[in-house]
Copies of this chain bind each other. A is one copy, B any other.
Amino acid sequence: MSHFTITARDPDSRARAGVLQTAHGAVATPVFMPVGTRATVKSLSPHELRDHGASIILGNTYHLYLQPGHELIARHGGLHGFMSWDGPILTDSGGFQVFSLVYGGIADEVKGRRPAHPSRLSDMVTVTEEAVIFKSYLDGSRHVFTPERSIEVQHHLGADVIVCFDELPPFRAGYDYTAQSMARTHRWAERCLTAHQQRNRAALPNPDQLLFGIVHGGIFPDLRRASAEVISRMGFDGLCIGGSLGANKEQMYEVVDMTVPYLPDGMARHLLGVGDVDDLLEGVARGIDMFDCVSPTRLGRHGAALVRNRERNWRLNVTNASLRDDPGPLQAGCTCYTCRHFSRAYIHHLYRSKELLGIRLVSLHNVAFLLNLMADVRAALAAGRFGELYEEWLGKPLISVTR
């Protein structure tokens, strides 16, 4: 029942290349998946994504449950039919958003960069052993998510990979709460697995969904190890690393390093919500196979294009006056639609004029940039030169990575 095959390994790190088999096709890993929160990768068409090399995309269960609703989506052929994307899809469990839209800026919050607001928290979301009760971010209406409910919703959405429902404690929750929360997430994982095994396959848009478990434990090595070992043994089709990933990138890499050694080699590993250029390369080096992040389209909406410039954090502000008369593409050598046809000057003009095409073109470029980076990573792994690629992008030798 192995859905994941490893095809190449880097001798100097934990990096590996592989193939994940899903009901809608194979996914070559390491892979970056663009995020289509509301059944659309913001501003882009599914056919553009496919043409630029996207092999799997992510949808958000929480948002789709609230609008337009999972039952409506099931009636329209599941997410695949509804959004006209016939390739693989992964849905998260909704757990992240249930909490994140209370915490505020979720990534910063969960990653510990910003303090939590316990009073707002208790007003908006209540966690019990049985369920999470939360208010909709859309209209304040009250909803109850249980592990079984999350799986039911994901069954209706019909993604090829679905994920266990988890509680997301804030980074600053401390050891004791993180341990208790982890133990509950483990009990919820069992409930998700049972709900998934008992599904009525005939009634679902995609009867052959894979269920991924999710490893928690915050920033605490013994909890991460315990969670990795417990979740790995439960019989999931793959694994996610979730929960708090620390206060900064270094701590995130430490969390990955304290987790991966305790994950079985033969299961695909998804690091949830990560997609900066350096994080992708560091994650691959540490044995991660799958990544997702809203960053390429979010950056696009804010006028930041991804470019090969480490000193500037791989970002180019397209509204910068220096681009006003620049005839070159966003990134020299980039083969995306945007870079093949449009100059920096034109894109600068579109943003100055608040034209939607600007958001489209930069979002498409950014998505393609990360997809091309991951294609290069896979090619480098296959050719035994991942270390070279790592050093070329990050300006330091791969030996810095824990092995």
Known: A356-B359, A359-B356, A360-B360. Contact between A345 and B42, CB under 8 A?
no
**Complex Cα gap A356–B359 (Å):** 9
B45 and A82 within 8 A (CB): no
Interface residues of A in 321-362 (CB under 8 A from B): 324-325, 327, 337, 341-343, 345-346, 348-350, 352-353, 355-357, 359-361
The answer to whether A43 and B342 touch (CB under 8 A), given A324-B68, A324-B72, A325-B72, is no
A40 interfacial contact with B, CB 8 Å: yes
Indicate whether A274 reaches chain B with its CB closer than 8 angstroms.
Answer: no
Flag whether A75 is at the interface (Cβ < 8 A).
Answer: yes
Q: Which residues of the other chain, B, contact A360 by a CB distance below 8 angstroms?
A: 43, 45, 356, 360
Docked Cα-Cα span, A153 to B76, in Å, equals: 51
Write out the residue numbers on chain B whose beta carbons fall within 8 Å of the beta carbon of A40. 350, 353, 355, 357
Task: Evaluate whether A346 and B72 lie within 8 angstroms (CB atoms) in the complex, with A355-B42, A357-B43 already known.
Answer: no
Interface residues of A in 69-100 (CB under 8 A from B): 72, 75-76, 82-84
- Interface flag for A39 (CB, 8 Å): yes
A75 to B325, CA, bound (A): 8
The reply to whether A68 and B345 contact each other, CB–CB distance below 8 Å, is: yes
List which A16-71 residues lie within 8 A (CB) of chain B: 38-40, 42-47, 63, 67-68
Q: Which residues of B contact A84 (CB under 8 A)?
A: 341-342, 346
Which B residues are CB-close (under 8 A) to A76? 327, 343, 345-346
A176 to nearest B CB, angstroms? 39
Known: A325-B75, A327-B76, A357-B43. Contact between A82 and B345, CB under 8 A? yes
Q: List 21 A-B contacts (CB under 8 A).
A: A42-B355, A42-B356, A42-B357, A43-B356, A43-B360, A45-B337, A45-B361, A47-B337, A63-B353, A67-B349, A67-B352, A68-B324, A68-B345, A68-B349, A72-B325, A72-B345, A82-B349, A84-B341, A84-B346, A356-B359, A360-B360
